[in-house]
Amino acid sequence: MPEISIILAGFADAFTWVNLLFVMLGVAAGQMVGAIPGIGPIMAMAIAIPFTFALDPLVAISFLVGVNKGGLFGGAIPAILINTPGTPDAAATTLDGHPLAKAGKPVKATRMALFASVTGDTVSDIVLITLAAPLAGLSLQMGPVEILALMIFAFSIISGLIGDSLIKGLIAAVAGLLLATVGLDPEHGTPRFYFGYFELYDGASLVAVAIGMLAVAEIFRRIAAARRAGPQPAISLGNDDPAAQRVSWAEYWGCRFAIARGAAIGTLLGAIPGIGSTAAAFMSYSATKKTGTGGGPEFGQGNLRGIAATESANSAVMGANLIPLLGIGIPGSIGAALLISAFKIHGIQPGPLLFQTQARLIYGLFGAMLMANLMNLLIGQVSLRLWARVIRAPESVIFPAALLFCFVGVYLSTGGLFGVGLMLVSACVGYVMMAFGYPVIVFIIAFFLGAGFERALSQSLVILDGNPLAVVQHPVALALLILAAVTVIWLSRGRG
């Protein structure tokens, strides 16, 4: 555990005017892009990463965290108003949010979503602050054999839980590991698979690959689907009834158990790499529905507890996703994987050593996360009508502008057109993977972990003297490998 003085210094760094300004901008941008169906905070984070290069590392990462947190609530706005989730996380919010909006209470529904989202997110952040440092200390006690087994276990979970097919998930993971072998051999310094392009000596750029596969490929997919999309329904917030414009304390307190249950479910599932916030939201909604209506409308007809359950759960996943990232160096979601790109742009290697080498930065990040929750609440309260108009922005404007930002950002971060070409190739690969159901996030996570996986594998072979059976002398590694095998068998039942 870092010294108290370092922790206090980190929080002091977070609460500076510059950091506050960028957190505010990040939250506002996140809410805006979350409110536009098809954009979402992940694409916004991918586009914004290269533009944070000139910023202080804490300011840059705080801005990206603000984008992610703002987008979690922003996705609920179109889900409630036009029955179209702005992000996959908000899909469950449509079940009660849109019926309540049609009943003449759209502002009440969106504010309940905001309050539940901020509450669940704050609970998750507190758990992160409490657990991340002890988990990092524990992971530092693990040797190469245990780290290798842990990565195999993580791959088994991520590959099985993301996407519809375990086999496709494993194929995506192997492909990501293969791409990570491009560049210099970490053991002997021999160049591999660079095909005469000296720009690949240091490996493929994580920023170019991530933006290409996550942002540009999604833009291509959305443009291709734009012609099939129907006209959006009209949006109206013009109800003058005070009861339809606010959420009373009694109504919020009446949802306390739904919010607490959602925060617990989201935090627990978020700490497990690969499950994601969409699953957490539906699981929380189902659990809350089983407890009864609590005196309000039936579930599916505008029950506030249904909105509270889903929004608290999907928002709680965000902070919990950083527990495996900061504790053991394994990203638990797309957002966490993108934060890794930001860390690496600023010369910081993510993983458990961060609490030894960059403790002040990490606790500054924790402070920024708590600040972003407050900004989410304040900005969401005052800008709801503005985001309702943002939903109407035409895709013919949104996607070309986003594509332009992708080109400029990758050009600046990689220092030339080669990075742009790599981004376009990655986008084509990502588009094909999406079309055939191969999970892109598994590919990205495996690509990031590839160098560490190869290093741990080489060291483990030396420690085990080339005999895999010698792993029995490492009980922790053996237990993790057994869990990986059990996970693959269990998740493969009923799946392709």
Paired sense of beta strands 183-184 and 191-192, if any: antiparallel
CA separation for the pair 94, 90 (Å, rounded): 7
Q: Among the listed ranges 7-11, 79-83, 128-132, 255-259, which one has the minimum average pLDDT value?
A: 79-83
pLDDT over 50 at 234, yes or no = no
Flag whether 255 is in a domain. Answer: no
CA separation for the pair 37, 23 (Å, rounded): 23
Question: In the predicted model, what is the mean pLDDT of residues 41-46?
Answer: 79
Question: In the predicted model, what is the mean pLDDT of residues 310-328?
Answer: 85
CA separation for the pair 301, 132 (Å, rounded): 40
Mean pLDDT estimate for the chain: 82
Flag whether 57 is in a domain. Answer: yes
Question: In the predicted model, what is the mean pLDDT of residues 259-283?
Answer: 80
CA separation for the pair 259, 318 (Å, rounded): 15
CA separation for the pair 444, 152 (Å, rounded): 15
pLDDT over 60 at 176, yes or no = yes
CB 305 within 8 A of CB 254: yes
CA separation for the pair 457, 455 (Å, rounded): 5
Flag whether 188 is in a domain. Answer: yes
Flag whether 241 is in a domain. Answer: no
Query: How many of the other CB atoms lie within 10 Å of CB of 292?
Result: 11
Flag whether 245 is in a domain. Answer: no
For 191, the enclosing helix (H) or strand (E) is: strand 191-192
Flag whether 248 is in a domain. Answer: no
Q: Which two tokens stand for residue 151?
A: 């990565």
Q: How confident is the model at residue 249 (pLDDT cuts 50, 70, 90)?
A: confident
| Half-sphere CA count of 283, side-chain side, radius 13 A | 20
- SS3 call for 183: strand
Q: How many domains does the chain have?
A: 1
Q: What is the pLDDT of residues 395-445, one digit of tens each?
A: 677 778 778 878 887 887 777 789 899 999 999 999 999 888 888 878 887
pLDDT over 80 at 140, yes or no = no
Q: Among the listed ranges 387-401, 446-460, 461-475, which one has the minimum average pLDDT value?
A: 387-401
Query: How many of the other CB atoms lie within 10 Å of CB of 201?
Result: 12
Contacts of 232 (CB under 8 A, 6+ apart): 82, 84, 391, 392
**Per-residue pLDDT at 121:** 92
Q: How confident is the model at residue 162 (pLDDT cuts 50, 70, 90)?
A: low
Domain boundaries, position 65:
4-233+260-492
CA separation for the pair 496, 493 (Å, rounded): 8
CA separation for the pair 267, 260 (Å, rounded): 11
Question: In the predicted model, what is the mean pLDDT of residues 357-369?
Answer: 90
Q: Among the listed ranges 144-158, 233-247, 410-424, which one has the minimum average pLDDT value?
A: 233-247
Flag whether 205 is in a domain. Answer: yes
Closest by CA position to 157, among listed 297, 4, 332: 332
CB 369 within 8 A of CB 318: no
Flag whether 184 is in a domain. Answer: yes
Side chain identity at residue 235, one-letter code: I
Side chain identity at residue 307, one-letter code: I
Question: In the predicted model, what is the mean pLDDT of residues 111-119?
Answer: 92
